Amino acid sequence: MTSTENLFLPLTSLAPGRWTTIAGPEWRNPGGGLWGGYAIGLCIRVLEAEPEATGEVLSLTLTYIAPLPAGELDVRTRRLRQGGSIGVWEVELRAAGSEQVGVHGMVTLARRPVTPDFAFATMPETPAPETLPSPQMFGDGQHFGASAFDRRTLEGFPPQPGSSSRSLAWVRPRQGPLDKALLGMITDNSAPRVFYALGPTVMTTTLSLTAYMHATIEEIAEVGDDFILVECEGRVGGGGASDERSSYWRRDGKLLATSEQLAWYRPVTRNAPE
């Protein structure tokens, strides 16, 4: 049995492909289950610790199957394929002692070659984060990773029903420098886009989230403990499903990551008082 020490995501190896960790109550959603961003960070962190894994996380798709409770978690990893540069891994997160998969991840790892860079996307022009107040995170300030991240809102917060779903915010880790696992967590750090259409009286949960890690480990490390800009918008919702897409920018305009998310929603029916 071996352990990897990490401020937010400690892991203990039990056997090949088997790990355990403790998810503290600070990672819970108000509804009780673990915040989806925690699962993203944990999937990245376990493959960074996995001795058989080669390269760094390039992309991952998580399917949120069932709520995970805070407490001890069982983490299982399995390599599906390893080529010369690209490897594909499967990660499963379960409550300890349960056979019910809570979160299923498909993760692509890669050895990143040196190639010419290009970019068509440009970072929005915004005020510096130091000029903005530090408001509470959406909902309870102890949930949604608020204990791990400082968020400075530019526009689109708090969510209000209207004609636009766009929001901008500067986000930085509260303790320690940004790394790939923490960047992964930030990809689930924005309010659900359905609130921008229908207001807060809606129940919503993430079905699946795909994050693309465009930046290398070294490029992310250059951020240190500085802010990154989160640009988020939704495009459509109907039949209980709504989408979201986001971009994550370094202060100098480098696009670090993008994400796509599909959420499930339904109106909340409230009984009138008698």
pTM: 0.92
- Per-residue tens of pLDDT for the chain, all 274 residues: 555 555 578 999 999 999 999 999 889 887 779 999 999 999 999 999 999 999 999 999 999 999 999 999 999 999 999 999 999 999 999 999 999 999 999 999 999 999 999 999 999 999 999 999 876 444 445 555 677 899 999 988 889 999 999 999 999 998 789 999 999 999 998 999 999 999 988 999 999 999 999 999 999 999 999 999 999 999 999 999 999 999 999 999 999 999 999 999 998 876 544 4
Beta bridge partners of 180: none
Tokens of 127: 């005020």
Tokens of 222: 């250059």
Closest by alpha carbon to 76, among 157, 154, 21? 21
- Region of residue 17 (left: phi > 0; alpha: psi -120 to 50; beta: else): left
